[in-house]
Structure 1
Amino acid sequence: MSLADTSSTFNKTPYLRRSALIGLALAVVLIVALAAGLRFGMLLLVGLGFGIVLEGFRFGFAGPWRALILRRDVTGVLAQLLAIGIVAVVAIPLLSSQDGVLVGAHAPIGWAMLGGAFVFGIAMQVVLGCGSGTLVNAGSGNPVGLLALPFFAIGSFAGAFHLIWWTDLGTLQPLVLSGATGLGVTLALLAALALVLLLIAAPGSRKLPARLWLAACAIALLAIGNLVIAGQPWGVVYGLGLWAAKGAVALGADLSGSAFWMADANALRLGQSIFTDVTSLTNIGIIGGAAIVAVWRVGGLSARLPRLPARAWLAVIAAGFLMGYSSRLAFGCNVGAFFSGISTGSLHGWAWFVMAFLGAMIGVRLRPALGLEPKP
């Protein structure tokens, strides 16, 4: 049998293809565990879980926000709030009892943080993908996601390079809701927001479908696992910036002028393998998990190149860079700031949500003007 015949048989046999996918994924996890340590292999496995759930259940952030803005479909955002609430029930008490062992996604509120969240909200709707969404889109073979991802990484690196200058414009100390009281306030705020959404929901969009119930619970369990294994909450932005920083160093760039990249912990990571960086591992896992689902479904990454005008592709590049840059200033994206921030009691997560949602309201209306979708 020729190589072409073997390939054809493989593609036409779902059982063989899917068995090979599972075997390959587990082999990579095992290799990482043996080379870097069990903890890092487990984190890659968690990342694969994130990617499989996000792509397999169509659970995301940018799309549901768009649905809420344009159609008053609240189901996707309600699922996000449910997942955040489940994580909060475990994470906030755990952080209070394991102070110094586990850390939350706690960050200060300041001008740069607020402005960064607003810009991120605009940009993520332009590419129709947040931090995790861009990883998922790239992993599943979406051409827009594939183009946006490297510029997201470059933007994250650049934002980190300039971060200290921006934060010097003025920030507050991190404000954290901790202990039983903090958990009660967080759950009350989530419930209040859910009630508002239900009141404004379009008819027929108040009931959460089973798919989203399952996805919210699965994402919450994976996020809790990430917190326990990594010692920190689920994040995206830092890992992407680190990849670009490593690339810059490999090309001969001098990062000594950046207080961020020369900080002891970050300088150490620049010299280490990305397979020992917890955020990089889950990011890689998300890409891989999304790819597994895409190949599982249709036998390959078969997304077609959309017929878009040149200005649309330029907009994707610019938006990708701005997402990376602005999310670094905002101390995270929908995952690191909104999801992980709120679920670990950080008030900056709530401030991030307000500003990013305001930006998203602008971003959804920019897409037709940029040629990314037909004008209404």
Structure 2
Amino acid sequence: MAHNATTLADEGQAFSPRPSTPPEASAPRVDTFVVGLALTGMLVLGALVWLETAPFLVALFAIGAVMGIALYHGAFGFTAGWRNLVTKRRGAGMRAQLMLFALASVIMIPLLGSGQPGMVGAVAPIGTSLVVGSFLFGLGMQLGGGCGSGTLFTVGAGNLRMLVTLVFFIVGAVIGSIHLPWWLDLPGLDPVNLIDSVGVVGAIAVQVTGLALVMAWVNRVERRAHGGLERSELRVTPSTGTSLRALLTGRWPFAWAILVLALGNALTLAIGGAPWGITFAFNLWGAKALQAVGVDMSQFEFWTWDYPAMALADSVLVNITSVMNFGLLLGAMFAAGMANRFNEASRKRPEGRPFLAAVIGGLLLGYGARLGFGCNIGALFSGLASGSLHAWVWFGCAFVGSLIGIRLRPWFRLPN
């Protein structure tokens, strides 16, 4: 996969090694200010979380930070992976995602099927809300430049355009929470949990077979366009390096990021009782901001439901999704500082049509995530790893929305 070496246009270009200096020949200078700021933030927030809750939440904060580092160094962008398949007929990013989903399914489905109390999967109903929400999310991720995790890790790395996307992501999520009860009254089906339907082995077989079929299609598209497959992105090569220096400052092969993200999600399930999620925190942050300026959120049905009402009443430092998001942001900031890319990311300010795309994309991302029960992480990654059928519906509808978003990007002066 080619990486733009000049700016952070979106989540798929979060790390791009400078071609003029081989990674093993000269270590990039570390941005000590940014690294120090990130580490200070980790220590302060970690201490506050420790004081607010039990140590398990500090562990989840640390897991979030590690996954932010992996997302940044692996340039693991769902948005760019989908777009590269459509516009360049290159499937490395998509293959990496499919491998991640398969590995996580093999690890997490047995955990969920073990019957341990207090452990629940990311399982959701299949209906109009899911279809519309995931379609809007797919459209928004191409205009906004990232999904939930992609928006967070690029903001943590200093991307100003993605900060605009994040702000309007939060706005859209709050609007979506207000409208969600109406959408849920429309026709739909109850959740379908493959673990309950066909057992642990059957659920793994269904998920892995489905992912293998999608990968076969991705490979066919690439072979027809280029005569072969691009495989170097998954391996440790001289361009990625093998030293500790490469681990801390270099571009990771996808294989490293896949392993960290799959294990991170499994640990999140084992420690926190539910798989990794991103976007509920955006709902919560927006609702708390409105509440702080005097808006009574209890007038909206969503915020009277048990979990949202409890989260709104509590500190964000006891909310698992929020704490992990804070860790992800700081982890990405640390990684960008170690690679000396933070200032590089922050120099380019969005103006004109790219700014408008960030606004519209953010609104669609937030609204779509709330209607669709999550983003590429909570609905797709964690949904598939939980054996939930809704994740497949989300995948298909979001991809269709993404196709439209890709076609709209040139009008907004965004590169494809």
AA aligned opposite 1:277: N
Residue number in structure 2 paired with 1:205: 229
Shift of 1:25: 5.5
Structure 2: segments with no counterpart, 5+ residues = 1-27, 236-252
Residue number in structure 2 paired with 1:258: 300
Residue number in structure 2 paired with 1:334: 376
Residue number in structure 2 paired with 1:91: 108
Shift of 1:226: 1.0
Residue number in structure 2 paired with 1:355: 397
Q: How far apart are the structure 1 equivalents of 2:38 and 2:348?
A: 30
Instruction: Say whether the 8 Å CA contact 2:161–2:349 is kept in structure 1.
Output: no
Deviation string 1:227-265 (CA, Å, 9 cap, x unpaired) is 111111111110111000111111111222322111122
In the superposition, relative to structure 1, how do residues 16 and 330 fare at CA in structure 2: closer, same or farther (>3 Å)?
A: closer
Deviation string 1:168-204 (CA, Å, 9 cap, x unpaired) is 1112100111122111111111112112211221445
Q: How far apart are the structure 1 equivalents of 2:156 and 2:167?
A: 13
1:283 aligns with 2:325: yes
Q: How far apart are the structure 2 equivalents of 1:19 and 1:306?
A: 21
Structure 1: segments with no counterpart, 5+ residues = 1-11
Residue number in structure 2 paired with 1:5: none
Q: How does 1:159-170 map to 2 (within 5 A)?
A: 159-170=176-187
Deviating more after overlay: 96-105 vs 299-308? 299-308
* Among 159, 171, 182, the residue aligned to 1:142: 159
Residue number in structure 1 paired with 2:96: 79
1:226 aligns with 2:268: yes
Q: Secondary structure at the match of 1:233?
A: coil
Deviating more after overlay: 51-60 vs 90-99? 90-99
Deviation string 1:200-230 (CA, Å, 9 cap, x unpaired) is 2144534252201111111101111111111
Q: How far apart are the structure 2 equivalents of 1:285 and 1:87?
A: 21
1:113 aligns with 2:134: no
Q: Number of residue pairs matched?
A: 363
Residue number in structure 2 paired with 1:7: none
* Among 187, 194, 210, the residue aligned to 2:208: 187
* Among 39, 43, 61, the residue aligned to 1:27: 43
Q: How far apart are the structure 2 equivalents of 1:256 and 1:227?
A: 30
1:132 aligns with 2:149: yes
Moved over 6 A (4+): none
Q: Secondary structure at the match of 2:126?
A: coil
In the superposition, relative to structure 1, how do residues 239 and 307 fare at CA in structure 2: closer, same or farther (>3 Å)?
A: closer
Deviation string 1:250-295 (CA, Å, 9 cap, x unpaired) is 1111222322111122111111111110111111111111111111
1:157 aligns with 2:183: no
Q: Secondary structure at the match of 2:121?
A: coil
CA RMSD of the aligned region, Å? 2.1
Q: Secondary structure at the match of 1:369?
A: helix
Shift of 1:54: 0.2
In the superposition, relative to structure 1, how do residues 96 and 146 fare at CA in structure 2: closer, same or farther (>3 Å)?
A: same
Shift of 1:13: 7.3
Shift of 1:18: 8.3
* Among 19, 41, 56, the residue aligned to 2:58: 41
1:243 aligns with 2:285: yes
Q: How far apart are the structure 1 equivalents of 2:62 and 2:82?
A: 28
Residue number in structure 1 paired with 2:217: 196
AA aligned opposite 1:276: V
Q: How far apart are the structure 1 equivalents of 2:76 and 2:339?
A: 16
Q: How far apart are the structure 1 equivalents of 2:190 and 2:304?
A: 23
Q: How far apart are the structure 2 equivalents of 1:19 and 1:184?
A: 43
Q: How far apart are the structure 1 equivalents of 2:288 and 2:217?
A: 44
Q: How far apart are the structure 1 equivalents of 2:42 and 2:409?
A: 39
Question: What TM-score do the two structures reach when normalised by structure 1?
Answer: 0.91
Instruction: Say whether the 8 Å CA contact 1:88–1:183 is kept in structure 2.
Output: yes
Q: How far apart are the structure 2 equivalents of 1:160 and 1:348?
A: 19
Q: How far apart are the structure 2 equivalents of 1:161 and 1:72?
A: 39
Instruction: Say whether the 8 Å CA contact 2:192–2:388 is kept in structure 1.
Output: yes
In the superposition, relative to structure 1, how do residues 145 and 16 fare at CA in structure 2: closer, same or farther (>3 Å)?
A: closer
Q: How far apart are the structure 1 equivalents of 2:227 and 2:33?
A: 42
In the superposition, relative to structure 1, how do residues 35 and 99 fare at CA in structure 2: closer, same or farther (>3 Å)?
A: closer
Deviating more after overlay: 302-311 vs 230-239? 302-311
Shift of 1:130: 0.5
Instruction: Say whether the 8 Å CA contact 1:17–1:299 is kept in structure 2.
Output: no
Q: How far apart are the structure 2 equivalents of 1:82 and 1:159?
A: 31
Q: Secondary structure at the match of 2:299?
A: coil
Q: How far apart are the structure 2 equivalents of 1:219 and 1:340?
A: 11
Q: How far apart are the structure 2 equivalents of 1:338 and 1:116?
A: 13
